[in-house]
Amino acid sequence: MAVALLASLPGVALADCIDDAAAYHGVNAQVLRAIGYQESHLNPQAHNRNRNGSEDLGMFQINTIHLPELARYGIGRQMLYDPCVSAYVAAWHLARKVALHGNSWHAIGAYHSESPGENGIYARAVAGILDRKLAARAGTPAAQARPAEPVRTPLQDAAAPMRPVVLRHAPQTGEPRGQADDPWLDAMLTELNHGARLRDRFTR
């Protein structure tokens, strides 16, 4: 699919860009949201300079190494500070890792690094965020959120198949979207006030 040129788009109030991006790229929205929390606590202005000279930009800490490829889709450096752009790029990046590694914790860890050690540590960190979210929803301590399991190494966990994560219930009539979710992780709501539908910038 060709990359669409800029076209006018009326603002969509309270559009959840994370859900929209995840649905478009076929990744789990709650996993994507947990990655955003791990990367920046969902801070759209987050910026980090790495020892190798690259930089991580925006809410999903997109590394500047991807800028040449993103330029093909009309996405430049400053656009990565927009939370909706960041969410779409993150979902695109995660989907490529899932295509490479399967629907696994290894794919989630690969969002951050392909290095086995760092991959496993990152996957466990994201799993911990999801566990805390499940515990908050159930009203139980995070340590009790999942059944006791044998002690495993980060690498074992990273290689294990990803458990299904189903956290969002269908909203009741009149219930604002996202009300059922704990605000520290789920309140990423923003207006789409861009010049083009972000989904049209990406090939599937």
Residue ranges of domains in the chain, CATH in brackets: 12-188 (1.10.530.10)
Asked whether 104 and 9 are in contact (CB, 8 A), the reply is: no
d(Cα 121, Cα 111) in Å, to the nearest integer?
A: 12
Residues contacting 121, CB < 8 A, separation 6+? 109, 154
| Whole-number Å distance between alpha carbons of 177 and 199 | 21
Task: Report how far residue 160's alpha carbon sits from residue 87's, in angstroms, rounded to the nearest whole number.
Answer: 26
Tokens of 166: 């189903």
Each residue's pLDDT, cut to its tens digit, for the chain (204 residues) gives 222 312 222 233 223 889 999 999 999 999 999 999 999 999 999 999 999 999 999 999 999 999 999 999 889 999 999 999 999 999 999 999 999 999 999 999 999 999 988 999 999 999 999 988 777 776 666 555 454 443 344 444 444 444 433 333 333 334 333 333 333 333 333 333 333 345 555 544
d(CA 105, CA 124): 8
